[in-house]
Amino acid sequence: MEIYHGSREIVEFPEIRKTRYTKDFSWGFYCTKSYEQACRWAERRHENGIINVYSYTENKVLNVLAFEKMTDEWLDFVAECRAGKVHNYDIVEGPMADDTIWNFVNDYLDGNISREVFWDYARFKHPTHQISFHTLRALECLKFERSEAVYG
């Protein structure tokens, strides 16, 4: 399977970096099956972004968590990860909250809206895809194929 990582640079050798803020599935190397989504990642803070293309080979020995769609379990997992909780999964795959859903998640986490209100708001939004790699063993599933420049 071909997956993409949008960046400001060529990433031939992916790595997991601990940053100031945690993401949906905690710290990891994030990719997507959506070329368009990777373009948005590449362009969001960079005038001339790069799409890194990888072939992904599944390793059935790894501890993988996959969410088919946004569910209560997905919301709870995202809430815990964004709060800084570390999990023991090698790979996590599932919906990614777009900017609007991100705001709804933050409102839910801050206690400004209930779970029920979150789902009422999120019902009409269509999340995108993300797959995150959280261990060195997981990164071994990726093989760098090429990079492509994206001009905003």
Note the pLDDT tens digit of each residue in 42-56. Answer: 887 667 899 999 999
Kindly give the pairing relationship between strand 142-151 and strand 48-56.
Answer: antiparallel
The reported pLDDT for the residue numbered 152 is 59
Domain that holds residue 129: 2-151
pLDDT score for 17: 84
pTM for this predicted structure: 0.88
Number of domains in the chain: 1
Whole-number pLDDT of residue 79: 86
Instruction: Write the pLDDT tens digit of every residue in 104-125.
Output: 888 988 899 999 998 888 877 6
Is 51 within 8 Å of 147 (Cβ atoms)?
yes
Q: What pLDDT shows up at residue 46?
A: 63
Where the chain has pLDDT below 70, the residues are 45-46, 97-99, 125-127, 152
Specify the length of the chain in residues.
152
